Structures are given as C-alpha cells and as structure tokens.
Amino acid sequence: MKKILVALLAAAMLFAFAACDDSSPAPFEANIKDAAQLSDAIKALSTATEPVEWRLANGEYDVQISIPAGKDVTIIGESEDGVIISGPEDYAAMESIDIYSSDNGGGNFNGYVGIVQAKDATLTLRNLTIKGDIDKNFSMTTQNGNYCRQGGLMVINSEIDAEDVTITDTRYSDSYMGVQNGIAVYIVGEDEGKSASFNDCSITNFNKGAVVVRSTVSEFTFTNGVVEGEGATTLTAQNGIQYSCKSTITGNRISGLDYDADNEWKDGAVGVYGVNAPSGCVVTPNTFSNVNVPYYPEIGE
C-alpha cells in the first residue's frame, strides 16, 4: 500500500509540473489572410510613418511586393512551405526599378525587377517562399526594351534580413536559359549601400545565378543555407553565391552546378565566387556536391 501511495504522489507531482510548464508556442495570428488583403497593405505603405509588420496566413499570394523608399517592413509567414508569394498573373506588368550604381564602372541600370523587391528601404523576411513561374519569367526581361536582372528577390540600397525563406523557380525555360540574365537574389547598393543577412534560406531552380551581391553592399552574410542548381546542363554555366563585398558565407550546402557544354567554359560553374572581393572575407566551411569549381578564386577548406 505504501508503494502505491508513493507512486500516486509521484504521478501527481509530475502532472503538476507539466501543467505549470506550458512551453508550447502560441498559435500563429495572421493579420493578412489573402492576396486582396496583401494588395491593400502594399497600397497603404504610401502613408505609413512607422514600421509595419505583416503576418501572412498560409496560402498563395499572387502579387508583387514592392517596398518603397523610407519604409520599414517585416513580413512573417505562418510557415515556410505554406506561404507562397508568386507574383501577379502578368509578369510583364510588374514594377521595375532603375538605379544608378558606381559598381561595374558606374552608370544607370534599368529594368531590375523581382517578385519581392525593395529600394531605399528596410525589409525583414521570415518563414515564407518566393516562387516564380518558369513559363512567365522571361516576360520580365524585356521591360523598357532591355534585358533585366529578373529574380525572386531584388534588393536595391536596402537593409535586408531573411531567415527560413525559400526562393525557387526563377529560371527561364530552356530556350531562353543561355542568356547571362536571371538572378534569384540580386543585391546592390547606391552610394554607401546597406547590409544583407540570410540564414537558413534555400535557393533552387534559378537561371544564371542564385545570389549576386555587388561591392556597394556594406556587408553580406549567407549562412546555413541551401543552393541547388540545374545539375548537369549545357544551357548555361550557373553560379551559386557571387560576392564582391565584405562577406561571411559559411555552413551552406551547394549542389548541382555542372556546366557540361563542349566549349571553352566547360566545367566552369562556380559554387562560391569572389569577384574583386576585399580581404578578410570568411567563406569556409561549406559543403559541395556536383559543383565544377567549389571556390573561385581557389581556396582551401
């Protein structure tokens, strides 16, 4: 009988501790539940004077998100796989960004466009997917009569902080994939530029490159992410992460960058590509699979 009482007392104590330890996360509370509400929120940015937080319920949002100058916007999805930002029905009608940049010798660059884009703003992204449409992507590249660096995420002179974000299907159909345009994530600064941070992000099914970060960005971080290219292809020599500024690129899994054409560029796809990058960058360790050139310039692990 004494053993039974002790057992009952122990069970009661465990129940009491369990009742007090309510560590389960609070249910997600969305303030935007469909594309119409998101469109209204984007329009309302013109009069916003304080930072804005959008909490998106699971679903597909067939709109372009363009963050205007001076705005501070945080977008949090209910789940990374469940919140899909896919751009409008007509990709050719998407708003583009023209910039001046001292990078690449200076000059005006026209027709930069992304499904999500920001210029002279602050943007935070959490738990969502930016998803293009292979059959429609190329229509973005002919705006203003120019090819443009179409992509999923376009960041111009803006602070960007992304975590648990997937960017996918920003490549062209095979007949257009050989051009040098089409970057899933493109980040450039004007004047002194801003910083860019990505953690636990995945970039898949892109065109020429997964990420391009120009020298006018102050600091770039890409950690614990996934970059997955086309695999063996003769269409174009894809690159993974191209950086030209102070950068930390570590803990990433990079795969499927295998240019197989019989020409002078054969086996020329690069995983982590430093283009006139400054000294002091940290770009190891990362893991590579089916990548022609893991690091360029060559660097040891």
pLDDT in tens, 208-218: 999 999 988 99
What pTM does this model have? Answer: 0.89
* Residue 2 belongs to a domain: no
* Residue 40 belongs to a domain: yes
Structure token pair of residue 137: 């992507």
- The boundaries of the domain holding residue 136 are 26-296
Residue 5 makes CB contacts below 8 A (sequence gap 6+) with none
29 CB neighbour count, 10 Å cutoff:
8
* Residue 15 belongs to a domain: no
* Residue 9 belongs to a domain: no
Q: Give the number of domains in the chain.
A: 1
Q: How far is CA 237 from CA 123, 218, 261, 274, in A?
A: 31, 28, 9, 16
Write out 168-220 in H/E/C secondary structure: ECCCCCHHHCCCCCCEEEEEECCCCCCEEEEECCEEECCCCEEEEECCCCCEE
158/73 Cα distance (integer angstroms): 11
Note the pLDDT of residue 7: 47
* Residue 157 belongs to a domain: yes
CATH code where residue 62 lies = 2.160.20
- Ordered per-residue pLDDT tens for the chain, 301 residues: 444 444 444 444 444 444 555 567 789 999 999 999 999 999 999 999 999 999 999 999 999 999 999 999 999 999 999 999 999 998 888 888 877 666 655 666 667 889 999 999 999 999 999 999 988 877 665 544 444 567 899 999 999 999 999 999 998 888 777 767 789 999 988 766 799 999 999 999 999 999 999 988 999 999 999 999 999 999 999 999 999 999 999 999 999 999 999 999 899 999 999 999 999 999 999 999 999 999 999 875 5
69/89 Cα distance (integer angstroms): 25
Note the pLDDT of residue 299: 78
Cβ(249)–Cβ(243) under 8 Å? yes
* Residue 5 belongs to a domain: no
* Residue 283 belongs to a domain: yes
Note the pLDDT of residue 151: 80
Q: What is the helix, strand, coil percentage profile of the chain, to 5? A: 15, 40, 40
DSSP 282: B
* Residue 19 belongs to a domain: no
